[in-house]
Amino acid sequence: MSGGEQASIHRAIERVARESYGRLVAYLCSHTHDVGSAEDALSNALVAALETWPRDGVPQNPEAWLLTAARRSFIDLVRHRQVAEASEPTLALLREESKDMTLSPKFPDERLKLLFVCAHPAMDPAMHTPLMLQTVLGLDAARIAHAFLISPATMGQRLVRAKTKIRDGGIRFEIPQERELPQRLDAVLEAIYAAFGIGWDDMAGVDQSGRDLAEEAIWLARVLLHLMPQQTEVHGLLALMLHCEARRAARRGPDGRYVPLSEQDCQTWSRPLIEEAERHLKEASTRGRTGRFQLEAAIQSVHAERARSGEIQWNAIMMFYEQLIRISPTLGTRTGYAAAVAEARGAEPGMAALDAIDADDVSAYQPYWAVRAHLLRRLGKTPEALDAFDRAIGLTEDPAVRQFLLERRG
Amino acid sequence: MQFALLIFESPEAFAARNADENDPYLGAWRAYYKALVEANVYVGGNPLQSPETGTTVRLKDGKRRVQDGPFADTKEQLGGFTILELPSLDAALEWAARCPAAAIGAVEVRPVSPEYLRRVTG
């Protein structure tokens, strides 16, 4: 076999792994809740594929092939672990199902249940995103650890502990009831957005891993939208992320320098992504309740409008922030509101909005100090501005942003 | 609990210490120090002079062995340390990532060991 054919088979395996990973894991563990064994079984199946496919060719239905192989391995693994007798009926069920498995390549998509399990209220909120990235997308612990600024060994342990809780903690694999759905869905959306935010912040222009994480988050949102097309906030979240993604290239100058949003060359924004974002935002606005992600997407939509009109409607942004504060009064929202007020109404009311935030909450919050430095300078309060610039610079992780602030400070 | 941030720097970073007041690396450190103090997490610390000023001493078979230069011969060398009071390792890693040296060298985060200190000091 030539190197080219080898490579094409490896690509085929990678592709089916990416497309099917979450579907296969979710399906395998939907009865046993044993996410760890499902993942191990699937990775055994992928190893088997790497051995078999180059010899016998890629099977006609690669996903069904992987599922059959993974299921065999899964039964072995679960049996090997000798989980209490209680799991015996499950084993019988699995054996039964695997008989006619090859006849029907179709199997139910259980990913939605898996997403709700990952963001279950009984799970540590800090683990929602890592769990999703691993169980639905198959990212390895080391890569997740880098993104979350945690040592790989620690992240590995935390993931294992979380999966033990899923298996033994009586967490149900189900789609929440109507009554609790909004809140449960919020947790899923938050976790996806957290992945995107990390990918976004990490983008030092050169960091490929950060960039990929934002793409993974968009992928997750697309999966979720496919499973829940009627949910307003899923459209809102996807619109928000697509608007940000559209500007990715514009965030850095050709020399790698940081370019703030208001100074970006909008000709370099991706028009197809903006149009897709607008379609989702429109879809969201035709449905019921206005949600947090819909409002955040609307703010980004106003910024995107600059590409057409040449100006930023700060009044509109300020009003969206006012609504947003009522739903989600986070530090980020309140800081964004103050910045919008400063642009729409002037630096003094902007400062007043900043001063309304409790000083204890912002001692390590970089955006607050960056906005504050900017406003103090506009008000001509030079020593205070320098001090705020220092706080912002000292809290900055991205070297390009640090350089930008150092130059603004002067 | 307390964490030590051990700052490892490249030869270029050590050389930059002689730069003028407007040097961006110096400016970044000044700002970082201020942010640590204002966030009320700074306990102490010091920069060290460049690695070639170091002298390493060992006793081998009762004989003194003195070596010019630092203990380890690596490209990046210990350039200083900072002690921080923080609730968790996660928080310490956040501060390490913001350290200006993290982008051009490395920052090792180590928990301080008060238990061992107690055993030593009695």
Instruction: Work out the average pLDDT over A374-400.
Output: 96
Chain B (72-111) residues lying within 8 Å, Cβ to Cβ, of chain A: 89-90, 93-94, 97-98, 100, 102-103
The two tokens of residue A138 are 């198959």
Helices (H), chain B: 11-15, 24-38, 89-98, 114-121
Taking only Cα atoms into account, the Rg of chain B, rounded to an integer number of angstroms, comes to 16
For residue A404, give the nearest of A299, A251, A286 by alpha carbon: A251
Contact assessment for residue A233 and residue A240, using Cβ atoms and an 8 Å cutoff = no
Predicted confidence at residue A103, as pLDDT, reads 45
State how far the alpha carbon of A266 is from the alpha carbons of A201, A340, A399, A401, B26, in Å: 20, 20, 24, 20, 34
B25 interface with A at CB cutoff 8 Å: no
Distance of CA B113 to the CA centre of its chain: 16
Residue A164 has pLDDT above 90, yes or no: yes
- What is the structure's pLDDT at A213? 82
* A201 shares contact with chain B (CB less than 8 Å): no
Give B7's Cβ-side CA count (13 Å radius).
Answer: 27
Residue B106's pLDDT is 95
Rounded to 10°, the helix A125-135/A35-56 angle is 20
Asked if residue A241 has pLDDT above 80, the reply is: yes
Residue A197 distance to chain B (closest CA, Å): 15
Neighbours of A160 (CB within 10 A): 12
- Assembly ipTM: 0.89
B35 contacts A149? CB cut-off 8 A: no
First-to-last alpha carbon distance for chain A, in angstroms, is 62
Structure tokens at A348: 């003094």
Helices (H), B16-113: 24-38, 89-98
pLDDT at A105 over 70: no
| B51 in contact with A, Cβ within 8 Å | no
Q: Rounded CA gap, A278 and A117, in Å?
A: 30
Which residues on B lie below 8 Å from A392 (Cβ)? 31
User: Smallest CA–CA separation between B18 and chain A, in Å?
Assistant: 19
By the 8 A CB rule, do A292 and A233 touch? yes
Reply yes or no on whether the pLDDT at A104 is more than 60. Answer: no
> Which of the four pLDDT bands, split at 50, 70 and 90, describes residue A143?
confident
The pLDDT, as a whole number, for residue A351 is 98
CATH of the domain at B21: 3.30.70.1060
Element (H, E) at A53: helix A35-56
Which chain A residue has its CA at the smallest distance from B36's CA?
A: A394
The values of phi and psi at residue B74, to 5°, are -125, 165
Percent of chain A scoring above 90 in pLDDT: 60
pLDDT band at A296 (very low <50, low <70, confident <90, very high): very high
CA nearest neighbour of B41 among B117, B96, B105, B107: B96
Closest Cα in chain B to A155: B90
What value, to the nearest 5°, has the Cα angle with vertex B76 and ends B74 and B79? 120
**pLDDT score recorded for residue A84:** 54
> Worst-scoring range by mean pLDDT, A213-227, B35-49, B94-108?
A213-227
pLDDT for A75: 87
Are A396 and B98 inside 8 Å of each other by CB?
A: yes
- Residue B46 has a pLDDT of 96
Nearest to A147 by CA among A221, A216, A202, A220: A202
Give the H/E segment covering residue B65: strand B63-68
Residue B18 and residue A404: Cα distance in Å, rounded? Answer: 23
What contacts A31, CB < 8 A, 6 or more positions away? Answer: A90, A93, A94
In angstroms, the separation between the Cα of residue B57 and the nearest Cα of chain A is: 34
Helix axes of A181-201 and A208-227: crossing angle, nearest 10 degrees: 160
Helices (H), A57-180: 62-81, 88-100, 111-118, 125-135, 141-148, 152-168
Confidence category of residue A95, pLDDT binned at 50, 70, 90: low
pLDDT digits (tens, 9 = 90+) for A245-294: 999 889 999 888 999 999 999 999 999 999 999 999 999 988 777 899 99
Instruction: Give the per-residue pLDDT at A182.
Output: 86
pTM of the model: 0.87
Pair A295, A327: CB distance under 8 Å:
yes
Q: What does the alpha-carbon distance between residue A13 and residue A351 come to, in Å, rounded to a whole number? A: 55
* DSSP per position, A375-403: HHHHTT-HHHHHHHHHHHHHT---HHHHH
pLDDT tens figures, A204-222: 444 455 457 888 899 889 9
Would you say A221 and A133 are in contact if contact means Cβ atoms under 8 Å apart? no
**Model pLDDT, residue A98:** 57
Rounded distance between C-alpha atoms, residue A401 and residue A407, angstroms: 10
**From CA A169, how far away is CA B103, in angstroms rounded?**
42
Q: Which residue on chain A is closest to B94 by alpha carbon?
A: A149
User: Once rounded to an integer, what is the mean pLDDT over residues B54-70?
Assistant: 93
Element (H, E) at B83: strand B77-85
Q: pLDDT over 70 for what percent of chain A? A: 90
Contact yes or no for A252/A258 (Cβ under 8 A): yes
Distance of CA A12 to the CA centre of its chain: 25
Is the model's pLDDT at A303 over the cut of 50? Answer: yes
Is residue A403 less than 8 Å (CB to CB) from chain B? yes
Residues β-bridged to residue B56? B67
Would you put residue B67 in left (φ > 0), alpha (ψ -120 to 50) or beta?
beta
Residue of A nearest to B89 (CA): A150
Q: How far is A81 from chain B (nearest CA, A)?
A: 33
**Residue from A259, A398, A383, A395 nearest A409 by CA:** A383
The average pLDDT across A77-104 equals 60
Closest CB to A363 among B38, B89, B90 = B38
Please identify which residue in the block is written with the tokens 């976790």: A191
In sequence order, the 6+-apart residues with CB closer than 8 A to the CB of A82 are: none
For the stretch A390-403, pLDDT in tens is: 999 999 999 999 99
**What sign has the CA pseudo-torsion A30, A32, A35, A38?**
negative
**CB-based contacts of A167-170 (< 8 A; 24+ apart in sequence):** A167/A32, A167/A33, A167/A34, A167/A35, A167/A36, A169/A122
Residue A91's pLDDT band, with cuts at 50, 70 and 90, is low
Residues of chain B positioned with their CB less than 8 A from the CB of A391: 31, 34-35, 38
A409 neighbourhood in chain B, CB within 8 Å: 27
Domain extent at residue B84: 2-121
Asked if the C-beta of A406 comes within 8 angstroms of chain B's C-beta atoms, the answer is yes
Write out pLDDT tens, residues B63-98: 999 999 898 888 999 999 999 999 999 999 999 999
Which of these ranges, A35-39, A195-199, B49-53, has the smallest mean pLDDT? A195-199
- Domain tally for chain B? 1
Which one has a higher pLDDT value, A290 or A344? A344
Cα–Cα distances in Å, from A154 out to A129, A160, A161?
Answer: 15, 10, 11
